[in-house]
């Protein structure tokens, strides 16, 4: 029994997507009889038709749908392998697989991607934006090679490089009793409803710890998945929130940001990678570039 070639898998995917022998042959630039014979060999190898023939038309059947799913996955894996090998051959090419927090998507990550593309314009980026616990899972599973995240996970198998220390503040609605204060401890918000991130987010852990050190557990009014959503709900008067001190052009209207006076009212954003895992040179060179930068 002959093995299926990569070309035959690619031909099959195109044929399954078009469900038309002539159209698929034209798109692939192969002769229609050649494509027909390839399909016949594939069906013979699997022992079942992959299409229903209806009035000289092809209709993908349940067996064909299963093969299409796996053929796409196989071709995608081959593409990934090609990219990784290319990266090993030439560190100025290939793909950097980077995960990052939602809250650094508007400044730090765009800055470092833009800066590195100026040095290595042929490098591509495969980006994933996620919560801290999801980022850690992706790193461990090998779905990404690097991550920009917070706080430091403390895992022995992870290497952490601090990049930026961000002060935290208390976001309150305009007109709130604390609005306009030069600073305040988080204890000043005891008894207020809090808008927070969901459990598992790094900032949620820091916020909960700040409140615990101040001797109270916050009353949660709403749990969000993004900081801008939190600030929008604060503006609507739903509660207060512990958030990173925003950059001047990133403030939310009708929200007052009060610096927190607590000693632990900050978070450190860092670059994270799995210790002793081999990484393509393109990834290592990008990591070196990030660590050279000074973030403010």
**pLDDT of 87 above 70:** no
H/E run at residue 46? helix 32-46
pLDDT at residue number 171: 97
pLDDT tens for 41-52 read: 999 998 999 999
State mean pLDDT over 58-65.
92
Instruction: Return the structure tokens found at 55.
Output: 């009035």
Work out the average pLDDT over 70-81.
Answer: 89
Largest CA distance in the chain: 79
Segment 239-261, tens digit of pLDDT: 999 999 988 777 889 999 999 99
CATH number for the domain formed by residue range(s) 95-162+268-292: 3.40.190.10
pLDDT in the model for residue 97: 92
Arch. (CATH architecture) of 6-89: Orthogonal Bundle (1.10)
Q: Give the model's confidence band at 89: pLDDT under 50 very low, under 70 low, under 90 confident, else very high.
A: low
- State pTM to two decimals: 0.64
pLDDT greater than 60 at residue 134: yes
Using CA atoms, how far residue 237 sits from 197, 233, 240, in Å, is: 17, 6, 8
Q: Where are the domains of the chain?
A: 6-89, 95-162+268-292, 166-265
End-to-end C-alpha distance for the chain, whole angstroms: 62
CA-CA distance, 163 to 109, in Å (whole number)?
Answer: 12
Q: Is residue 147 very low, low, confident or very high in pLDDT (cuts 50, 70, 90)?
A: very high
Residues 166-265, CATH architecture: 3-Layer(aba) Sandwich (3.40)
| Mean pLDDT confidence for 193-209 | 92
- Report the candidate in 23, 26, 30, 33 with the shortest Cα–Cα distance to residue 7: 30
pLDDT of residue 251: 82
Is the pLDDT confidence value at 295 over 70?
A: no
Q: How many CA atoms lie within 13 A of 246 on its CB side?
A: 20
The answer to whether the 6-89 and 95-162+268-292 domains have the same CATH topology is no
């Amino acid at each position: 029994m002959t093995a299926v070639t990569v070309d035959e898998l690619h031909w099959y995917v195109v044929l399954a997507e078009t469900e038309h022998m002539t159209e698929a042959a034209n798109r692939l630039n192969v002769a229609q009889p050649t494509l027909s014979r390839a399909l016949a060999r594939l069906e013979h190898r699997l022992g079942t038709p992959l299409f229903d023939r209806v009035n000289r038309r092809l209709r993908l059947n349940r067996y064909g749908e299963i093969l299409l799913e796996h053929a796409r996955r196989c071709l995608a894996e081959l593409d990934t392998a090609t990219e990784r090998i290319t990266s090993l051959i030439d560190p100025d090419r290939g793909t950097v697989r980077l995960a990052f927090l939602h809250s650094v998507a508007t400044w730090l990550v765009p800055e470092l991607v833009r800066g590195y593309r100026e040095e290595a314009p042929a490098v591509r980026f495969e980006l994933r934006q996620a919560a801290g616990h999801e980022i850690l899972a992706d790193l461990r599973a090998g779905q990404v090679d690097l991550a920009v995240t917070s706080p430091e996970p403390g895992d022995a198998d992870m290497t952490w490089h601090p990049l930026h220390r961000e002060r935290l503040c208390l976001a309150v609605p305009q007109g709130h009793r604390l609005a306009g204060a030069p600073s305040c401890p988080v204890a000043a918000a005891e008894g207020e409803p809090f808008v927070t991130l969901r459990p598992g987010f790094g900032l949620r852990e820091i916020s909960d710890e700040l409140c615990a050190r101040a001797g109270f557990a916050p009353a949660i009014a709403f749990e969000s998945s993004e900081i801008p959503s939190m600030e929008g709900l604060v503006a609507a008067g739903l509660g207060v929130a512990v958030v990173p001190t925003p950059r001047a052009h990133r403030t939310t209207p009708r929200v007052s940001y009060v610096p927190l006076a607590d000693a632990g009212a900050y978070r450190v954003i860092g670059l994270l990678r799995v210790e002793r895992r081999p990484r393509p040179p393109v990834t290592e060179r990008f990591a070196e570039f990030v660590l050279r930068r000074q973030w403010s």
